[in-house]
Structure 1
Amino acid sequence: MAILIPSDVTCNMLKEAGFNLQGELQGKTQDLPAVSELKSWKKRGQRRNMWTVNHVEGTKLRMNKRRSSYRPEDQEAFYQLLEDPVIQSFLEADIFLKVSDKYLLSMVVEYFGRVGLPGHLYNRIHFFLALYIASDMEEDNPTSKRSIYQFLLGREHWPDLYKEFLKLKVEFFHAMGHRAWVTPDLCEEIQAQNPHHWVWSRARQCAP
């Protein structure tokens, strides 16, 4: 069930994440400094977590793994955002863990690292953008993905605002270097950094 967020609060959060929402609704795209910041943090020396083909032996591919991208400040930002009341309500509402099991949530941490913003700049919108992309990558269930922005924006307002959310998702994905794949091993590595945190108990048992 979605909680209704006042439209002015939602607009302000979207603006802080990088879009002038009112300008978009009027057909006048206006980049804020946060947009440039999101684009520019693609940075010198950013660590990447990718698999690359080293060489081919017959029908087998030898793969090399590059380093992960997440940083301690990304983990700290993630854990702090888990205290956000909207995020907490969303996690509580996802009783079957269709869009917020521990692996999808681990991907949020890695995505923060791939974008590379200073940890203190990440907010509620960034969390839901990352979770949406993770769900798109791993589940690709339109109904479940839709529940993410419906919950965030509220059932009353999401029809007017979801297109702006999806536009911002494109910016976020671009800032990630268009790299959405995260290995299960990396997810488990992220979880192992703080193994007793309650969020890592969100193991999906079976399909409802």
Structure 2
Amino acid sequence: MVLAYFKRGQFKLREYTRTNFFVGLYLANDMEEDEEELKYEIFPWLLGDRWRKTYPRFLQKRDQLLRRIDYRALVSRRCCEEVMKLCPDHYVWQRERESHHGGAIRKYAADSEEYYPRGPSHSPRFCQDCDIRMAEMVLDDDSSADNKVDTFYWIRTEE
């Protein structure tokens, strides 16, 4: 979606910057996700520890991008697939995402009372569905009952 925004906005090569990428990513998240708080995670990744003081300027840049692309922020699946065909073997397209991480609502974030961005220096948020699946995989692969309990305990307590 970000590349589509850059093309729609007729960005020059020198405008393909880290900041503009994150502005486009934020706009794409605005368009595709219903979970408002999750997109705030972008702020510490781009703006650093002082993100609370600088994010209003970032939001202005998002609005500028929206105007620059003439408010055409919706990107079709077909357009995204065409972008992916430009470099079909790129590792980003090869990843497999768990089906419970698709869509706009993610239970693991909705369970918490207040969402606060963690940024690049922290591990990803705990996902109970992934944790349970990992435990089931380990239990299925191991026939020793004693080891099953120890392995399950280790997976549940590791973060």
Q: TM-score, normalised by structure 2?
A: 0.59
Equivalent of 2:77 in 170, 181, 184: 184
Instruction: Return the structure number with greater helix share.
Output: 2
- Report the counterpart of residue 108 of structure 1 in structure 2: 2
Structure whose alpha-carbon radius of gyration is higher = 2
How far residue 109 of structure 1 moved from its aligned partner, in angstroms, is 0.8
How far residue 203 of structure 1 moved from its aligned partner, in angstroms, is 4.3
Equivalent of 1:149 in 25, 37, 43: 43
Kindly, what percent of the aligned residue pairs are identical? Answer: 38
Hey, what's the Cα distance between the residues in 2 that align with 1:134 and 1:205? 21
- Report the counterpart of residue 145 of structure 2 in structure 1: none
Q: Aligned runs of 1:50-129 on 2, under 5 Å?
A: 107-129=1-23
How far residue 204 of structure 1 moved from its aligned partner, in angstroms, is 2.8
SS of match in other structure, 1:157: helix
| Residue 130 (1) aligns with residue 24 (2) | yes
Hey, what's the Cα distance between the residues in 1 that align with 2:19 and 2:63? 13
Hey, what's the Cα distance between the residues in 2 that align with 1:112 and 1:142? 24
Question: Which portions of structure 1, spanning 4 or more consecutive aligned residues, are displaced by more than 3 angstroms?
Answer: none
Counterpart of 2:17 in structure 1: which amino acid? N
Q: Which runs of 5+ in 1 are unaligned?
A: 1-106
Structure 1 residues 186 and 129 mapped into 2: Cα distance closer, same or farther (>3 Å)?
same
1:104-157 CA-to-partner distances (Å, cap 9, x unmatched) read xxx011010011121232211100000000011001322211001122112x20
SS of match in other structure, 2:88: coil
Structure 1 residues 181 and 202 mapped into 2: Cα distance closer, same or farther (>3 Å)?
farther
Q: Which runs of 5+ in 2 are unaligned?
A: 102-126, 128-159
Aligned residues: 101
Counterpart of 1:150 in structure 2: which amino acid? P
Hey, what's the Cα distance between the residues in 2 that align with 1:205 and 1:112? 29
Cα RMSD between the aligned structures?
A: 1.3
Structure 1 residues 143 and 203 mapped into 2: Cα distance closer, same or farther (>3 Å)?
farther
